Amino acid sequence: MDTVKLRNGVEMPILGYGVYQVSPSECERCVRDAISVGYRLIDTAQAYGNEQNVGNTIRNCSVPREELFIVTKVWISNARYERAKASIDESLRKLQTDYIDLLLIHQPFNDYYGTWRAMEEAYKAGKLRAIGVSNFYPDRFIDLAEFSEIPPMVNQVETHVFNQQIEAQQIMEQYGTHIMAWGPFAEGRNNFFGNETLIAVGAKYNKSAAQTALRYLIQRGVIVIPKSVRKERMEQNLDVFDFTLTDEDMQRIRQLDLGHSLFFSHYDPQTVKWLCDYGKSK
């Protein structure tokens, strides 16, 4: 498995398994399957409702804890220093581990500055091996990075061939921050799996559109966490390290960039209101 080296020297797998929208009833089987086929990075979150299931699986699997890289996220309702501090301990309990490899602030709402202070403290105490953010657009990302003792090591944002985050990635790199993609398949939107360019480029290497899209992001240094509940798809998503796209291939795929989200915008007041209301309810 290829890795990226975070600013503090921690090695993080560049490809992992995400459990967003994986029900608690299926989660343990899915994570067990993912680990069995070779995944070592597992991405969850407080808001997903399946941290406990991830914890059950990593506790009972045959892979040593130190070979796994576990990511979770602090939800909006747990923002503010004291609540975030307590939620970190709760995530540790649910994940049944002494440390979390990477903890992210899930959304840039509520008192995420207080949350960040709690995360910096937990990082210094050894409870967290790395800290970062999620869904931080360049404006809020720069603000937090400029006024924090420890700038974010990772920023997980919507990233796929139709929203490639080229400029945002360049800004992150100025702060030594790695970009991590949620939704690397855009959840199939915009006819993702039937895209003619991805199919044509992939055919040169006997790879699918999905594998080609993952390879494109990986060659840009983007950490990816594709999700599937089917073991054979997990295996296919992992099978992207035996070929290299040419510069011409990369340029063809870059032309697919629409430069905007296929899901929502944090600049849209209605979206922000919905996320804040949802954040209070979880």
In the chain, at which residue ranges do the beta strands (DSSP E only) sit?
A: 3-5, 11-13, 17-18, 41-43, 69-74, 102-105, 131-134, 154-158, 178-182, 223-224
Q: Which residues contact 197 (CB under 8 A, 6 or more apart)?
A: 252, 253, 255, 256
What distance separates the 2 farthest-apart alpha carbons in the chain? 54
Residues contacting residue 206 through CB under 8 Å, at least 6 positions apart: none
Question: What are 244's two structure tokens?
Answer: 């290299």
Catalytic machinery residues:
48
d(CA 217, CA 16): 13
CA dihedral 151, 222, 4, 241 (to 10 degrees): 170
DSSP annotation of 177 reads P
Q: Which of 204, 208, 195 is nearest to 245 (CA)?
A: 204
CA distances from 36 to 54, 226, 234 (A): 14, 16, 10
In sequence order, what are the beta bridge partners of 22? Answer: none
Q: What is the dihedral of CA 21, 100, 113, 135, to 10 degrees?
A: -30
Q: Is 266 annotated as a binding residue?
A: no
d(CA 192, CA 186): 7
Q: The tokens of 6 are what? A: 């975070």
Feature table: binding site: 106
Feature table: binding site for substrate: 106
